[in-house]
């Protein structure tokens, strides 16, 4: 690769959640919804696309706006948002973008001759009689489309949402939410050929997957000839998968692919002691050669409305499934990060307050409840370039963790770029329990920013790095640099 790549893998100023990766030609294209930093609701920006060469997942290119929310005929003023989309190449060779039109209970479809060109409105998913799906009382609520053009040219559309049908759809239509559904589309890509049927019941319904019942975030791929359905479970902070020999049923639960707080790894299920702050997530599988990745998003700014794109490499099980991936700072990188160089604090994959306390950022009154907790944020407003994302509000006992780095055992120095108002000590360790200290630096901040350099020592090998602040006040963690001692001469 041309350079190292981190999580989040897009620039610090970009907020693209719900990312669905697809390989078209020799490039990977990621389609997602588009949050705005500081927004009070989900997905207020227009759809954009990012792409990278299949042989270099560090070289992401901004493809620009591919579809504006005002292009939907029902949204000329841009009042409504466009939620999580998916894209497939139809049997005719064109590219079709499916999206949930806000909470109105309908799927819009746009079409383009190229993967990342300017999409044009094409129609709404509808029944054979022309009636738009989601407009009849008793129908399943359309939400989070996942679409697959199969090897035989048949087109399968998946959808589903587990909570009470939200306003405004509930205002006009008595829609249902019994679980994840599947339907087949006609060759025109917009007419329902086989009516929607529930194949992934929600929690409490017969046939629901125990402990990981369907919630939302439908995504579908072919894996070694089988159909692999990816979804967010009732826990709402993980992505799970189920496998079947056919696209319209018979799916068996496979396991968790990734969880925002690394829950379910090592038996930990305590949300208040997760390895990061929790909230919804959504993504899909990417296959390049023999490698498989799971794409997902994380939460920032103590809200659910400024989410960022991340990805992790997956390991296969002997039965053809996948082991759960650990959340890292180096997801798409070809191995651990270098034990030298400058790293922005925003790539931390673990973050918690004193006593290893975390929790959900999308609960009731989250900013009040999480007032003493560290969080990812940026200065200023939403922007299209030149971000300065950092970790704010590191108070006594707060920890930021980064995984993983390859160290060669040589003596180094480490510089810390910090700000805020705080007096205390930063300790740095290669273990979360801080039994071994690799570096230590005293800090005194009086509303200013400064860079502090101190000695750093770590044995040869691949390790995480954990930074803990102990003291008074609140420190902002901007970046750190690992420096070979000879470079300081």
pLDDT tens-digit series, residues 208-235? 999 999 999 999 999 999 999 999 999 9
- pLDDT of 123 over the 60 cut: yes
Angle at CA 90, nearest 5°, toward 86 and 95? 55
Mean pLDDT of 430-435: 97
- pLDDT of 471 over the 50 cut: yes
In this predicted structure, what is the pLDDT of residue 235? 96
pLDDT tens-digit series, residues 399-416? 999 999 999 999 899 999
How far, in Å, CA of 80 to CA of 66, rounded? 17
- pLDDT of 190 over the 60 cut: yes
How far, in Å, CA of 231 to CA of 283, rounded? 8
The dihedrals phi and psi of 367, each to the nearest 5 degrees, come to: -65, -35
Q: Which CATH superfamily is domain 20-335 in?
A: Glycosyl hydrolase domain; family 43 (2.115.10.20)
Contacts of 252 (CB under 8 A, 6+ apart): 242, 243, 244
Pick from 395, 457, 390, 452: nearest CA to 429: 457
In this predicted structure, what is the pLDDT of residue 370? 82
Which regions of the chain carry the CATH code 2.60.120.260?
Answer: 341-488
Which regions of the chain carry the CATH code 2.115.10.20?
Answer: 20-335
Q: Which two tokens stand for residue 237?
A: 């902070």
Q: Evaluate whether 84 touches 161 at the Cβ level (below 8 Å).
A: no
Contacts of 198 (CB under 8 A, 6+ apart): 140, 178, 179, 180, 181
Q: Which two tokens stand for residue 1?
A: 């690769």
Chain Cα centroid distance, residue 158: 19
Q: In the structure, what pLDDT confidence band is assigned to residue 488 with cuts at 50, 70 and 90?
A: very low
| Catalytic annotation, residues | 18, 216
In this predicted structure, what is the pLDDT of residue 79? 96
Computed over every residue of the chain, the mean pLDDT equals: 96
CATH assignment, 341-488: 2.60.120.260
Task: Look at residue 6 and give its three-state secondary structure.
Answer: coil
Q: Which two tokens stand for residue 276?
A: 């990061």
pLDDT tens-digit series, residues 353-380? 999 999 998 765 667 778 899 999 999 9
pLDDT tens-digit series, residues 255-286? 999 999 999 998 899 999 999 999 999 999 99
Cis bond upstream, residue 242 (ω within 30): no
Classify burial at 162, counting beta carbons within 10 Å of its beta carbon; exposed 0-12, middle 13-18, buried 19 or more. Answer: buried
């Amino acid at each position: 690769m041309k350079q190292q790549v981190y999580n989040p893998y897009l620039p610090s100023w970009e907020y693209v959640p719900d990312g669905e990766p697809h390989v078209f030609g020799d490039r990977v294209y990621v389609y997602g919804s588009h949050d705005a930093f500081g927004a009070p609701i989900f997905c207020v920006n227009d759809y954009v696309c990012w792409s990278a060469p299949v042989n270099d997942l560090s070289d992401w290119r901004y493809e620009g706006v591919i579809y504006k929310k005002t292009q939907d005929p029902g949204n000329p003023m841009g009042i409504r948002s466009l939620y999580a989309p998916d894209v497939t190449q139809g049997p005719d060779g064109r590219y079709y973008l499916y999206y949930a039109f806000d909470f109105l209970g309908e799927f819009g479809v746009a079409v383009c001759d190229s993967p990342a060109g300017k999409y044009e409105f094409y129609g709404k998913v509808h029944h054979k009689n022309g009636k738009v799906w989601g407009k009849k009382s008793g129908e399943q609520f359309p939400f989070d489309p996942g679409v697959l053009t199969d090897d035989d040219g048949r087109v399968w559309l998946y959808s589903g949402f587990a909570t009470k049908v939200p306003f405004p759809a509930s205002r006009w239509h008595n829609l249902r939410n019994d679980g994840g559904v599947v339907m087949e589309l006609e060759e025109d890509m917009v007419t329902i050929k086989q009516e929607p049927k529930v194949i992934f019941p929600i929690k409490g319904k017969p046939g629901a997957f125990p402990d990981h019942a369907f919630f939302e975030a439908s995504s579908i791929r072919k894996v070694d000839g089988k159909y692999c359905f990816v979804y967010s479970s009732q826990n709402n902070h993980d992505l799970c998968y189920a496998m079947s020999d056919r696209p319209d049923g018979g799916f068996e639960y496979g396991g968790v692919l990734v969880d925002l707080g690394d829950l379910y790894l090592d038996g930990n299920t305590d949300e208040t002691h997760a390895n990061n702050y929790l909230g919804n997530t959504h993504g899909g599988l990417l296959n390049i050669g023999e490698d498989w990745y799971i794409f997902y998003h994380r939460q920032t700014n103590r809200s659910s409305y400024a989410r960022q794109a991340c990805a992790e490499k997956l390991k296969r099980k002997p039965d053809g499934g996948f082991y759960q991936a650990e959340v890292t700072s180096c997801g798409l990188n070809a191995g651990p990060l270098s034990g030298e160089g400058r790293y922005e604090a925003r790539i931390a994959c673990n973050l918690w307050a004193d006593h290893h306390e975390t929790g959900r950022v999308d609960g009731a009154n989250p900013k009040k409840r999480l007032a003493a907790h560290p969080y990812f944020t940026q200065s200023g407003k939403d922007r299209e370039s030149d971000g300065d994302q950092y970790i704010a509000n590191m108070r006594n006992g707060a920890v930021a963790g980064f995984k993983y780095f390859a160290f060669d055992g040589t003596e180094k120095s480490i510089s810390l770029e910090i700000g805020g108002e705080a007096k205390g000590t930063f300790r740095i360790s290669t273990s979360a329990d801080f039994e071994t200290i690799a570096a230590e630096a005293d800090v005194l901040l009086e509303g200013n920013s400064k860079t502090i350099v101190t000695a750093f020592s770590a044995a040869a090998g691949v390790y995480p790095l954990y930074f803990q602040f102990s003291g008074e006040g609140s420190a902002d963690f901007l970046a750190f640099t690992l420096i070979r001692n000879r470079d300081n001469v």
